[in-house]
Structure 1
Amino acid sequence: MSVLAAIAVLAVLILVHELGHFVAARSQGILVNRFSLGFGPVLLKYQGSQTEYAVRAFPLGGFVGFPDDDPDSDVPPNDPNLLRNRPVLDRAIVISAGVIANLIFAYLVLALQLGIVGIPKELTYQAGVVVQPVNQESVAYQAGIREGDIILAVNGQELPASDKSTPLLTKEIQT
């Protein structure tokens, strides 16, 4: 089952990436004649008004096809809506849109997870320092300090809820 889950996650990432290229091209009026998820033989195909949409046998990639690269295309080579006939900035937007779509998708997934699940307790700081396992022959153990105890202050100085608490306690113990 984990192999299928990995393939599904990969397919979603590829779909988002290729949709980035596709949406960037179409929003600028650039002609797109193919949108495919996967490689190899076609499993499912739908012919839209301008674009052929396909799902292929091997979901390890995908592509957005432009008439520029299609020798069977009936679009004249000097058509201003071909990718190669567009200004460099338009082409750069289409080329980079896949990566940008993946970054936006990752941000949205992270925000959604934090909104639903929250921040794991392990990633939040609490006041004090949690004691790690203590050797039964140590002075700390004989003084009554046990694993899981929380030291809130040392020498009258509170240990704040931050990553500086442990080094502060260590320094105090050493002196």
Structure 2
Amino acid sequence: MFGFADIIKFLISFFVILPIVTLIHLSGHIFFVTLFGGLEKKIVIGCGTKVFSFWNIEIRKYYFWNGACEFKSLRHDNRFTNTLIYLGGSLFNLTSIFLVNALISQGILDTSVFWYQFVYFSFYILFLSLFPMYFSDGSPSDGKAAVLTLKNQHEKKISDDIQFMKMEEQNKTKERSRDRFSGD
């Protein structure tokens, strides 16, 4: 039966563990972006209005719902590097699952509901990101983007949680900002 203690476990899982798992996933993408010379990198946790940021991490009002990472260019930009960027989040989730299980089996971490939920949500994010599909907004999952990239059919360098801004888009954004502040 679902009781009060289960509600507390659910709230902790949803508001603490899921954002941690999301951060690990996005860190995997950013790791490979950094490895391949990406510039102006940022991790966005959640959606809605910006609450605060530190380093290159931005926390949004609904921090427990989704996330994204952004970057502007890559020094090493080819099908192989792009595929690793798309799969990087899942690789980090998979690594965290194995790491937690290894630490529990070695007796370093205690078996607990927290770690069970951590592994559960890690598998959840891992599965949904690798499942080759398009989301309702038209963006591909990481798995679909990786497949399209390997087939040389993916040009936008975006997925459900990766945003790549081309230099032309950056310049247009800067020009709009200048126009807005100059009173034109």
**What's the TM-score, normalizing by structure 2?**
0.49
1:2: how far off? 2.3
1:4 corresponds to which residue?
11
CA distance in 2, matches of 1:113, 1:91: 34
Structure 1 residue corresponding to 2:65, chosen from 50, 60, 67: 60
Unaligned runs of 5+ in 1: 68-81, 119-175
CA distance in 2, matches of 1:56, 1:21: 19
1:26 corresponds to which residue?
34
C-alpha RMSD of the superposition: 2.1
1:110 corresponds to which residue?
101
Structure 2 residue corresponding to 1:40, chosen from 48, 54, 62: 48
* Higher-Rg member (1/2): 1
**What's the TM-score, normalizing by structure 1?**
0.52
Partner SS state of residue 37, structure 2 = coil
Unaligned runs of 5+ in 2: 1-7, 112-184
1:85: how far off? 7.6
1:88: how far off? 0.7
| TM-superposition CA deviations, 1:66-119 (whole Å, max 9, x none) | 23xxxxxxxxxxxxxx2498111110111100001000000001111111158x
Q: Which runs of 4+ in 1 moved over 3 A?
A: none
- 1:65-104 maps to which residues of 2 (within 5 A)? 65-67=70-72, 82-83=73-74, 86-104=77-95
User: What count of residue pairs does the alignment treat as equivalent?
Assistant: 100
Structure number with greater CO (CA < 8 Å, separation at least 6) is: 2
* Higher helix residue share: 2
CA distance in 1, matches of 2:87, 2:40: 16
